[in-house]
Structure 1
């Protein structure tokens, strides 16, 4: 009986089969980037004021400026009040001009929204302004709750049903719920659909803004298990490159489609063919199915397998075993903290995308364009510097660059660079966590539980940014220092570059210490 690493060498560790698998799994990265970053546009706000068209019944030729001056009170700073209007009266227009109006009321006839940037959004369609403005934050909380529930649930499903079914099932339903969201008749159904949408999206990156980051991790756990030791970094890095492409395309879609329902429909797509992971099948005792997949991969790669290459099953473990092993416990705690810190910094950057002094479409395009060459360079970094040094350095440099924004007034270049480093760190972490843990722990529980830490960060990011009310530098200090600390802790982890993926805890603990230094 042969180990799975020996079998990969026999069937070809990066042949046509693996290339087709990699291309198929990269497509969801584009789709999921659409869903994640679409929220920046579908939930975008715009300027607004009370609907005061009642005054036009007496004089329909009033200009917009004169209409607002006569019907909307001004605040102490001289700006128009967005949530109050003068109470409608039966006076004629000349009396109103001469004496003015004094009694005010709420916006009893609704609001009028500026459509120069977006023709419609969640805010304008469901009137999430004034006393209902808090509901937008509630919707974002529901969004994050869907991600957290998906992280917990589908981690177990991936190990119960396999990578293929755990990814195909939500991707099939994603198409349904992306479409359903576009036809949501009210805010509450919209939030329900968004919860389900993000719950399903957890199996394939962002997605969608899902973001969807954990969805791709399941898929690329499957891809990485089919790749040889020299090509594993390519799977995750190429996925992130496609995510950058998705961001750029999303900026274009939002620029040309300014109605949120139509833009939502443009996101509906699915991808259904993903081969099962032979490593996962072996871990669940399904040896014959694993052997069939191995023979299929060998056939596609035009390789011949002999009987001696058939493989034997090994056992899988549950959550408590992750903490029973000192070495697995150390790996898990360090990577969870690192994942949390980079996600916190990344989301704090994204929440301020409209506050950097540039057009929101241009800023999103810049973010996407910097991601593409950045992740291509990341492939070289992983092979040239190794996983440990690359991961630790990107976290430390990203945190330091974030702290530098406190010393300069023009921060666009620093924010973009810091975001690139955090993106690199996320990509490297995807590769690193797959190589550190044995197959019996790889997705569930290791990646699944670590992803919870990754998903708690976006929930806390708005709270961290709100610390600005106490001191301008407080948010930056938090999301700048944490990556530096976690990056330093990552230096305690071993190097895994060009080493075989461990299948069991025993193989991991028996690995020679000097092997990881090559």
Structure 2
């Protein structure tokens, strides 16, 4: 496969074929954020109190305020206790009003959810309050665990069965179990369906980006990762509009399923990666797809190049063994994985805490969503001007520092904290786009998906730990921020160990990935090709 870069130039490395493929694979990213954002809105806690309707038997004409005053104890701040009530007594109303009630107990007849922000959430439907209050955190972890498993399962699956199937099957699973989530009769069915949705989420994300990237030339390679992130940011804003007008979490699930059904229909027509076909020795299939791509781009493929593809031997195989026996590749893998873990922990910790920055939860989410749109355009510019290494280091070091700065601001200054947290999340998101591009350029084709799958798996472990890290605030409110900020800073510093891969061809062998490859300058017009000495892949 040493000549695929030259073949890609000949058929057009960013023509109509690549643009259609890029659109088809990035479009679902408008919908995927619905799944993550639903963890914030569908899991939102409510103002609740114990059901004390027993007193209506002796005082049916009591006002709501009088009912609560007689049956619920108050907290030191004057509000009603959400998890305690006075023990019911067999007295008449006048005796209760004269002597009052003193003995308390936990809620014996369920809860009343009186938050007017939402019509229904999983908290209200499954009573995830009081002793069960942390179960919705567990639901968040279950979803993120599914994302982790998706990366583990669909990484090797992609190496064996192709990038195409590894993007199609997750979308089908996501459609089915998004609907199952919406009709879940109890919390356990909800958890199981969300776990499978998480698997689909993780499987599609990593494979769709790789499939798009392996068809795109060096000058536009960052588009696949960055454009998918831009659309993901737009998806957050779209979901915000949906949940603002539809405050019922079950109905939101069905709204999500609609566009997913459209994606499931067209996703079956996407082409396979020619690079992967050549790795597997399926040169005839690769030739057919290359010719189709050339036809769509209105180019012709010289017979000499076609024969070169047909006669090309499959590149080396070895999977995970190559990744860890090569000292250089092992260093690259551990460094990029550490960075990806640190930024994921910070990003998801900040995302899941969107309702705790003092401002309205809808306003915070709008700010978070809109702030992500420019970061990826900035990321595309930075990747091509400053390079991968500098972009990653700056994003992680500055982003981690901004997170730590939130601790230096008075906690009553909600606007300043929200601004710093938004900027920190802004940079962590940009660092994620850099990692998505960077990791594909560090490893050869034979283990590219394996390396990305393993690294993504580790990153998903970090994101799965985000709710757990956030729980550490019960010991001190500074602990979660200290953890995520310090790790981001450390990973930014260690990123210095990585090589610069800007404007180099994707490596086709371990030797090339270890540094024995030449830079390949981007060009702006087909006629410039003669002036370029292509590095063969």
- Please tell me the TM-score bracket, short chain as reference: over 0.9
CA contact (8 A) 1:2 1:308 kept: no
CA change 1:74–1:36 in 2 (3 A) is: same
CA contact (8 A) 1:438 1:501 kept: yes
For structure 2, which runs of at least 5 residues remain unmatched after alignment?
411-415, 522-537
CA contact (8 A) 2:277 2:285 kept: yes
CA contact (8 A) 2:445 2:509 kept: yes
Distance (whole Å) between structure 1 residues aligned to residue 115 and residue 406 of structure 2: 33
Residue 471 of structure 2 is aligned to residue 448 of structure 1: no
Residue 482 of structure 2 is aligned to residue 486 of structure 1: no
The equivalent of 1:226 in structure 2 is 215
Distance (whole Å) between structure 2 residues aligned to residue 2 and residue 52 of structure 1: 75
Cα drift, residue 508 of structure 1:
2.5
The equivalent of 1:415 in structure 2 is 421
CA contact (8 A) 1:50 1:107 kept: yes
The equivalent of 1:338 in structure 2 is 339
Q: 273-282 or 179-188, which moves further after superposition? A: 273-282
Across the aligned residues of Structure 1 and Structure 2, the Cα RMSD in angstroms comes to: 1.9
Cα drift, residue 13 of structure 1:
0.4
CA contact (8 A) 2:29 2:232 kept: yes
CA change 1:17–1:515 in 2 (3 A) is: closer
The equivalent of 2:532 in structure 1 is none
Distance (whole Å) between structure 1 residues aligned to residue 490 and residue 115 of structure 2: 45
Distance (whole Å) between structure 1 residues aligned to residue 77 and residue 375 of structure 2: 45
Distance (whole Å) between structure 1 residues aligned to residue 388 and residue 200 of structure 2: 30
Residue 353 of structure 2 is aligned to residue 373 of structure 1: no
Residue 282 of structure 2 is aligned to residue 286 of structure 1: yes
CA contact (8 A) 2:140 2:467 kept: no
Cα drift, residue 421 of structure 1:
0.6
Residue 130 of structure 2 is aligned to residue 130 of structure 1: yes
The equivalent of 2:516 in structure 1 is 511
Cα drift, residue 2 of structure 1:
6.5
Distance (whole Å) between structure 1 residues aligned to residue 347 and residue 480 of structure 2: 13
For structure 1, which runs of at least 5 residues remain unmatched after alignment?
204-214
Distance (whole Å) between structure 2 residues aligned to residue 278 and residue 196 of structure 1: 30
Question: Which deviations, in whole Å up to 9, do the C-alpha atoms of 1:188-213 show, x marking residues without a partner?
Answer: 1111111111112212xxxxxxxxxx
- Which residues in structure 2 correspond to 1:98-497 (within 5 Å)? 98-203=98-203, 215-268=204-257, 269-270=260-261, 271=263, 272-273=267-268, 274-310=270-306, 311=309, 312=312, 313-409=314-410, 410-444=416-450, 446-497=451-502
CA contact (8 A) 2:141 2:467 kept: no
Residue 7 of structure 2 is aligned to residue 7 of structure 1: yes
Distance (whole Å) between structure 1 residues aligned to residue 430 and residue 401 of structure 2: 15
Cα drift, residue 17 of structure 1:
0.4
Cα drift, residue 381 of structure 1:
0.9
Moved over 6 A (4+): 513-516
CA contact (8 A) 1:284 1:315 kept: no
CA change 1:137–1:340 in 2 (3 A) is: same
Cα drift, residue 98 of structure 1:
1.7
Using the size of structure 2 for normalisation, the TM-score is: 0.90
Q: 395-404 or 154-163, which moves further after superposition? A: 395-404
Using the size of structure 1 for normalisation, the TM-score is: 0.93
Distance (whole Å) between structure 1 residues aligned to residue 94 and residue 477 of structure 2: 49
Distance (whole Å) between structure 1 residues aligned to residue 272 and residue 418 of structure 2: 43
CA contact (8 A) 2:39 2:140 kept: no
**Local SS of the residue matching 2:135:** helix
Distance (whole Å) between structure 1 residues aligned to residue 515 and residue 463 of structure 2: 38
Cα drift, residue 314 of structure 1:
2.2
Distance (whole Å) between structure 1 residues aligned to residue 477 and residue 247 of structure 2: 34
Cα drift, residue 77 of structure 1:
4.6
Q: 11-20 or 450-459, which moves further after superposition? A: 450-459
Question: Which deviations, in whole Å up to 9, do the C-alpha atoms of 1:40-75 show, x marking residues without a partner?
Answer: 011111110111122223433322111100111224
**Local SS of the residue matching 1:267:** helix
The equivalent of 1:34 in structure 2 is 34
Distance (whole Å) between structure 1 residues aligned to residue 26 and residue 255 of structure 2: 19
Distance (whole Å) between structure 2 residues aligned to residue 110 and residue 466 of structure 1: 25
The size of the alignment, in residue pairs, is 505
